[in-house]
Structure 1
Amino acid sequence: QQLAGLKDRYPDVVLDIRGKGLLIGVKLGTPNREFMQLARDQHLLVAGGGDNCVRLLPPLTLTLDEAREAIERFERACEAARAKAKEAA
C-alpha cells in the first residue's frame, strides 16, 4: 500500500509496482542505475531488475518499523530522482 502511495505521488518516477509479498519490483521512469545510486545515497540498497526496474529484497525478518523506514528512504530517493530530472530538463 505504501508503494502504491508513492506511485500516486511520484507518477513520473514510479511507473508500476510488480510482484507479491516481499519480492517487489518497481518500474521506474528514470534509469535504474541512476535511481540505485540515489537510493544508496539514502542508505537503501536496491537491486537492478531489467530495463528501468529495481527490486526490493528485504529480509524475511523485516519489522514494521524497518519497512516504514525503508519506504521513507525510497521516497527520498524518488524526490531526488524528480529533482535530478528537472535539472536535466
Structure 2
Amino acid sequence: MFSARIKQARDLRGIRSQRALGALMGLTKERGSSRINRYETQASGVDLDGLAQLAETLRVPMAFLVAEDEPTADIVLALSQLSPKERKELASRLKEQLATKK
C-alpha cells in the first residue's frame, strides 16, 4: 500500500517522476531516483525521518502514506484539508454518531 500511496501523492501533486520527487527532497538525481524507486517497488523500507520528509515534500499527512486501505487514506487526505476547528467539530460529531450505534 505504501508504494501505491507515494505514486498517488506524486500524481496528486503533479510530480511526474521519481527523479523529480527525489530532487524536491534535496537528493541528487541518481540517488533520488534510486531511493524513490526502491520505495515505490517495495524493495526498501523507509524510516520515520524519511517518511516525514516524503510526506512534507508531497504535502500529505504521514498517515496518508501508511493508511491500511484506500477509504482510510481518502479520509486522512480529506481531513488534512480541513482547518483544526473543522476537524475538531467533525471528530465530535463522529464520536456522537458512533456512540448512538452502541
TM-score where L is the length of structure 1:
0.34
The structure with the greater share of residues assigned to strand is 1
Q: What is the TM-score when the length of structure 2 is the normalising length?
A: 0.31
Higher relative contact order (CA 8 A, sep 6+): 1
Greater Rg, structure 1 or structure 2? 2
